[in-house]
Amino acid sequence: MTAPVAGNPVTFASTSLLPLAASDRITVMDVLRGAALLGILLMNIEAYTGPLDLSFTGIDPRWQGLDYAADALVYVLVQGKFFLLFSLLFGAGFAVMSERAERAGRAFVPLYLRRSLGLLVIGLAHALLVWSGDILLPYALLSFLLLAFRRFPLSALPVAAVLVYGVAIGLSVLFSLLVMLAAGHPGVLDSTASMAAAQQAIEAQRQAFGHGSWLQACAQRWADLQRLPGGMLITGPEIFGMFLLGSWFARSGALAQPERFAGLYRALRWGALPAGVVMMAGSALWVPYMAPGQFLPATGVAYALGALASLLMCLGYLAWIVRARSALAWLAAPGRMALSNYLLQSLVCTGLFYGYGLGFFEQMPRLWQLPFAVLLFAGQVVLSHLWLARFRFGPVEWLWRGLTYLALPPLRR
């Protein structure tokens, strides 16, 4: 950045709109974001090609043969793991932004509030106009809580992260206990009615997204959005717990200087990841499928086991990506414009699969969805490198930065 001097019209406010110099960026965070983008697409592709409420339910028995194997592979190795990694990186970004604002003597809270409000607007537009599975809106809503942990003691952050994340696990187990107690009192918990309501919601999504107009799809997205508070009861603690853990990874220097934390990363690679895989596989073998609307005593415990396994696997993946960061440097470009690429995935996939687009809804076999997602991401990698060779920011990052600083920065290099 160019320092302002007497007689120079460039101010600190204007220079703060410029992208960080290469030496100031924590490149491994961009690499991790790029890897998380691929994982999120591999997870979300099922929800793009069919009803959202039929996705993320385990290994769907509708699939057979290689399609079933592909669904199992994604469920055990991918689903939920990279979503957690993306959440961790959001918390890390918050910590980096806070520390840099403090070093520069810049008021951080107004800046951050505008940043969160900007993300809230972008997420709301995405959820209502493009795709019901949006994650930006929950991120934006939970991001305001991060301000309370801005100066939280560094050593206490991992403890707080585990406790918050543990709320989701505890609620899942509590849910199982309540189901067991209700089993002795017929009529207290009516699974038949709840399953019928879930099937009705799935059919509404099938009609709106698979056969409806864009306005009909928007109406369905509005209906889906109204269920967000209920969903955040479990996902909210998971996301915020990862926010706090990401803040520790950034503030401690574990991301910027991973060589100082060789023991930690070794434990994550060779301890957390294998343990998480075994735990996740056990959960999948025990309860392979969680039917929408069905309440079983084992469901909550299996979800809790999977949530713990996903946390361990997420951290294991992070450690391996950090280890291979030089070989994976090509992921930094899509990671630098992760928000634009995430939204582009939704635009491309809804345009291909939804009824108001090319109409391939529920027509792509599960096995084919995976190479399709990889090819789409490969295209994004190429596009990101070409874009950043000419521009300073991704297009949505540029707009988001303008909303944050109340002035659009220069876009072209």
pTM over 0.85: yes
Q: Which phi and psi angles does 188 have, rounded to 5°?
A: -70, -40
Q: What is the pLDDT of residue 10?
A: 34
**Torsion angles phi and psi, residue 252, rounded to 5:** -75, -20
CB-based contacts of 249, cutoff 8 Å, min separation 6: 88, 91, 92, 255
* pLDDT of res. 190: 59
Query: What separation in angstroms does the CA of 131 have from each of 67, 136, 240, 351?
Result: 24, 11, 22, 11
For the stretch 8-46, pLDDT in tens is 333 334 444 444 444 446 899 999 999 999 999 999 999
Residue ranges in the chain modelled with pLDDT below 50: 1-24, 188
**Alpha helices (runs of H) in 268-365, residue ranges in sequence order:** 273-286, 297-323, 332-336, 338-353
pLDDT score at 26: 83
Q: Report pLDDT for 1.
A: 33
Tokens representing 273 are 């990841």
For position 148, what pLDDT does the model report?
94
What is the distance between the alpha carbons of residues 83 and 314, in angstroms, rounded to a whole number? 9
Q: Is 107 helix (H, G, I), strand (E, B) or coil?
A: coil
What local confidence, expressed as pLDDT, does residue 193 receive? 78
- Burial class from Cβ neighbours inside 10 Å (0-12, 13-18, 19+) for residue 250 reads buried
Chain position carrying tokens 């939280």: 152
- Which of left, alpha, beta for 362 (phi over 0: left; psi -120 to 50: alpha)? left
pLDDT at 160: 97
Distance (Å, whole) CA 242 – CA 106: 26
Residue 314, C-beta contacts closer than 8 angstroms, at least 6 positions apart: 81, 82, 84, 85, 88, 242, 276
Q: Which two tokens stand for residue 39?
A: 């994982």
Q: What is the DSSP string of 138-168?
A: HHHHHHGGGGGGTT--GGGHHHHHHHHHHHH
Closest to 19 (Cα-Cα) out of 242, 359, 337: 337
Taking residue 358's Cβ as centre, other Cβ atoms within 10 Å add up to 11
pLDDT for residue 18: 45
Residue 412 amino acid letter: R
Averaged confidence pLDDT in the chain: 91
Q: List, for residues 256-280, the tens digit of each pLDDT value.
A: 999 999 999 999 999 999 999 999 9
Cα gap 325→320, rounded to integer Å: 8
Burial of residue 355, with CB atoms counted within 10 A of its CB: 0-12 exposed, 13-18 middle, 19 or more buried: buried
Q: In angstroms, what CA-CA distances link 247 with 54, 114, 272, 320, 344?
A: 33, 20, 20, 19, 27
CB neighbourhood size of 57 (10 A): 18
C-alpha dihedral (103, 106, 109, 110), degrees to nearest 10: -160
